Structure 1
Amino acid sequence: MNQTNAVAQEVPYIPSLFDRTRTQTTKLVAPLLPEDMMLQSMEDASPAKWHLAHTTWFFEEFILKPFLPGYASPDDRFAFLFNSYYVTAGPRHARDRRGLVSRPDNADVRAYREHVDGAMAELIALERDNTPEILDLIELGCHHEMQHQELLVTDLLHGLSFNPLLPVYREPEPMPVTTEVPLTWSRHDGGVIEIGHDGNGFAYDCEGPRHKVYVYPFAIADRPVTNRDWITFMDAGGYSDPRHWLMEGFAVATKEGWTHPLYWWQQDDEWWTFTLRGSQPVALDAPVVHVSYYEADAFARWAGARLPTEAEHEHAFAHHPIRGNFLNDGTMRPMPGSGVWGDVWEWTASPFTPYPGFKAPEGTLGEYNGKFMVNQMVMRGGSCATAQEQMRSSYRTFFYPHQRWQMMGLRLAKNT
């Protein structure tokens, strides 16, 4: 969230953004059965129904209650059920038990969304004179919902993967026939560079302040690591050779029995994977996906390279147009022929820590990012589950190094 972004867009932009964002979420759940909406396969994931309700609660809690005179929630208990981690907003239902909340049912949650959407339309109509604080909060709420659109589809993929019938969310489409893309490198001089959001347009608080960083001369790969590359690593015994692994990573991989990316299995000497379009043969020239930081780091060491820092990634690609395979394209899987943006989030070697001069915003929304700045690693680039409207070169997301269920891949770097 960008606390310095007063009103960067004209007034009509906000209602349009709100309508587009809410409509997109509705479209994402349209193919789901009521039983699908309740799936929660692990503590890290949440049911689709909860995502619908939580994103609605966000607008209600942070915008309607403080700013719309006379606003009343249809059910005050929703604040307990659908708060996520905002401690100062009040008590919350246990995260690992969200899938047990069968009531309110889907109809109740959709009615809740309609109630809040109607109240938001009323508020937006009242605010034609542009209150910067309200417009910025609405913009933040929309980008927050885009993050949950990404979580919704990746959480759903994880949940569906446990069904022996391997159900399909989107109809299967064959992958294009491709040939191997050689690995080439772009070289960059060292020196003092600037990274972080420049203050133009929306950004989350953790993307700033913009600041100077020194980087040594480096080269970065022109494409992500592919499934073809990864199979070579597997065939070379990469998962069983501790020389390539961080000690903690090798311990986790051994304990969890990792021998391949999440959702992979071998059938008749061919690797298959489960996707939101059902089970499909692994596309050799698509970016590898669903690998942890530990696996990505091990691959990079095995390949005689390393993971880029987030400063290197941002510096290398700051001027590349934001075009790629995103959620809006509807592919729901990484595609061959990838460039810079989309397809898979790329692990970096950088821990998620505050930039110099970072200060969390005052109030409950100060909990949005700042309190997670420990023990997690930064990812860059966006994925096939990321809304394109959310992407910019300074966007940094973050996950724990053992996690794999997001659209997680990697790109190599090396010293020069």
Structure 2
Amino acid sequence: MKEIIHINPDAKVFLERFRKIRQQSENICRPLEIEDYVVQPVADVSPPKWHLGHTTWFFETFILIPFVRDYEVFDAQYNFVFNSYYETVGARVLRTDRGNLSRPSVADVYQYRAYVNAKMEEFLESDSLTVEINAILELGLNHEQQHQELLYYDIKYILGHNPLFPSYSERVIFEKRPIKKNEFIPISEGLYEIGFSGTGFCFDNELGRHKQYLESFEIASNVVSNSEYLQFIEAGGYTNFKYWHSDGWAWVKEKNAKAPLYWHYIDANWMHYTLNGLQAIELDASLCHVNFYEAAAFASWKGMRLPKEYEWEAASHLFAWGERWEWTESAYLPYSRFAKQSGAIGEYNGKFMVNQMVLRGASEATSAGHSRPSYRNFFHPKLQWQFSGIRLVK
């Protein structure tokens, strides 16, 4: 028999978290025009409408359908439309075709969210929670927070590639941290504990806490600024192959890359697109929107390197982080005791442990409460649209 967790004050707090997180996704989309919801400029960017539907599909597919007796799905076609990559759950629209989904309409998707929200709230107010369901609910909430950050990425890409450079919202201004003198923090060699510890939530790729031997190193107290990276550009960083990995140099030539994503050289001035529109580069602000190739090339130009993910985690309590996801030179691979779960949930992280690089920390677009030192983010090395930056090691 499954262990039953009866509704108590903690469960009511959990219900409030559900409401708050679900509402935040809609709040992010509130400044959009209807036309903005359906655009997909490139394969890596999903239309905002799809994010709203997909995060709803998660709760319907993994909570309501299996655990609510006689539950009626909102629309039987939505499993095909809003499944992302779960082979176990069935066929799905190709990622590259999400922008072709003029139907269901934006209004339909919001009706879908309202329907599933109501059914979920009924379920959460019942005496039906089990340890198994609680774990899936927690995963679902963290999954939606991941998509909230992706919404910011994708909205910025959609509007930032509109020839008019429209502002997303003048009221959305991410907090800027005060500039402090950059110093290099010495870290002694030795054994360090790496991986998640504690009783809260983490993703499965953080589990398997283990000892890691590290040689001594020094890590920068600040991430790289726009002015520092501009020096790299002006020194011919994008025209000198010796700073780049082979794949990185191939990417430079293929894309004719000259600067980070959203940077534009206009009338002898460097400008960049922000969520508030096209603006002059703030030289003292933290660099954003560089890929792994650019990060590694910059580090090489400086005669330094990127941190290994173990180094970053071991030193993270000694510096401020959370403004940019920070590239590491570590490939995204499983910890030694990693084990994939069975079924569709097992597809969440393990299947992506190849051809990607780890980023650590968080960004200004990360949802509140959705970061920790052991968090292992990962992206393909060519991607720039995430809110990513550079911290150096020597």
Alignment TM class, shorter chain as reference = over 0.9
Contact 1:181–1:285 (CA<8 Å) still a contact in 2? no
Whether 2:168 is the aligned partner of 1:169: answer yes
Distance 1:284 1:174, change over 3 A: farther
Contact 1:262–1:291 (CA<8 Å) still a contact in 2? yes
Q: Which deviates further from its counterpart, 183-192 or 80-89?
A: 183-192
In 1, Cα distance between the equivalents of 2:293 and 2:162?
27
Per-residue Cα deviation, 1:329-366 (whole angstroms, up to 9, x for no partner) = xxxxxxxxxx6222211000110000011001111110
User: What SS does structure 2 have at the residue aligned with 1:35?
Assistant: helix
Distance 1:132 1:190, change over 3 A: same
In 2, Cα distance between the equivalents of 1:55 and 1:209?
28
Contact 2:271–2:278 (CA<8 Å) still a contact in 1? yes
User: What SS does structure 2 have at the residue aligned with 1:225?
Assistant: coil
CA offset at residue 183 of structure 1?
A: 2.4
What are the within-5 Å matches in structure 2 for residues 119-138 of structure 1? 119-127=119-127, 130-138=129-137
Q: Which residue of 2 is the match for residue 19 of structure 1?
A: 19
Q: Which deviates further from its counterpart, 136-145 or 180-189?
A: 180-189
Whether 2:354 is the aligned partner of 1:374: answer yes
User: Taking structure 2 as the reference length, what is the TM-score of the superposition?
Assistant: 0.95
Distance 1:126 1:287, change over 3 A: same
In 1, Cα distance between the equivalents of 2:175 and 2:157?
25
Contact 2:174–2:364 (CA<8 Å) still a contact in 1? no
User: What SS does structure 2 have at the residue aligned with 1:378?
Assistant: strand
Contact 1:225–1:287 (CA<8 Å) still a contact in 2? yes
In 2, Cα distance between the equivalents of 1:315 and 1:383?
19
User: What SS does structure 2 have at the residue aligned with 1:192?
Assistant: strand
CA offset at residue 10 of structure 1?
A: 3.2
Q: Which residue of 2 is the match for residue 233 of structure 1?
A: 232
CA offset at residue 182 of structure 1?
A: 3.5
Distance 1:150 1:173, change over 3 A: closer
Per-residue Cα deviation, 1:80-119 (whole angstroms, up to 9, x for no partner) = 0000000010000111111111111111101100110011
Q: Which residue of 2 is the match for residue 343 of structure 1?
A: 323
Q: Which residue of 2 is the match for residue 333 of structure 1?
A: none
Q: Which residue of 1 is the match for residue 153 of structure 2?
A: 154
In 2, Cα distance between the equivalents of 1:269 and 1:340?
34
CA offset at residue 179 of structure 1?
A: 9.4
Q: Which residue of 2 is the match for residue 32 of structure 1?
A: 32
Contact 2:173–2:276 (CA<8 Å) still a contact in 1? no
In 1, Cα distance between the equivalents of 2:379 and 2:11?
35
User: Taking structure 1 as the reference length, what is the TM-score of the superposition?
Assistant: 0.90
In 1, Cα distance between the equivalents of 2:175 and 2:55?
36
Q: Which residue of 2 is the match for residue 332 of structure 1?
A: none
In 1, Cα distance between the equivalents of 2:44 and 2:198?
32
Contact 2:219–2:393 (CA<8 Å) still a contact in 1? yes
In the alignment of these two chains, the number of paired residues is 388
CA offset at residue 177 of structure 1?
A: 11
Question: 1:314 corresponds to which letter in structure 2?
Answer: E
- Of 350, 362, 374, 1:394 maps to 374
In 2, Cα distance between the equivalents of 1:380 and 1:222?
15
Which sections of structure 2, spanning at least 5 residues, go unmatched?
none
Contact 1:178–1:285 (CA<8 Å) still a contact in 2? no
Question: 2:378 corresponds to which letter in structure 1?
Answer: F
What are the within-5 Å matches in structure 2 for residues 1-400 of structure 1? 10-127=10-127, 130-171=129-170, 181-317=180-316, 319=317, 340-400=320-380
User: What SS does structure 1 have at the residue aligned with 2:125?
Assistant: helix
Distance 1:13 1:211, change over 3 A: farther
CA offset at residue 180 of structure 1?
A: 6.8
Q: What is the aligned-residue RMSD (CA, Å)?
A: 2.0
Question: 1:369 corresponds to which letter in structure 2?
Answer: N
Q: Which deviates further from its counterpart, 197-206 or 369-378?
A: 197-206
In 1, Cα distance between the equivalents of 2:103 and 2:177?
48
Q: Which residue of 2 is the match for residue 326 of structure 1?
A: none
User: What SS does structure 1 have at the residue aligned with 2:150?
Assistant: helix
Q: Which deviates further from its counterpart, 180-189 or 400-409?
A: 180-189
In 2, Cα distance between the equivalents of 1:175 and 1:11?
32
Contact 1:56–1:116 (CA<8 Å) still a contact in 2? yes
Per-residue Cα deviation, 1:212-268 (whole angstroms, up to 9, x for no partner) = 111110111000000010001111111111111111111111111111101111123
Question: 1:276 corresponds to which letter in structure 2?
Answer: L
Q: Which deviates further from its counterpart, 281-290 or 81-90?
A: 281-290
Contact 1:195–1:394 (CA<8 Å) still a contact in 2? yes
Distance 1:176 1:27, change over 3 A: closer
In 2, Cα distance between the equivalents of 1:174 and 1:205?
33
Contact 1:25–1:52 (CA<8 Å) still a contact in 2? yes
User: What SS does structure 1 have at the residue aligned with 2:369?
Assistant: helix
Contact 1:296–1:410 (CA<8 Å) still a contact in 2? yes
Which sections of structure 1, spanning at least 5 residues, go unmatched?
1-5, 321-338
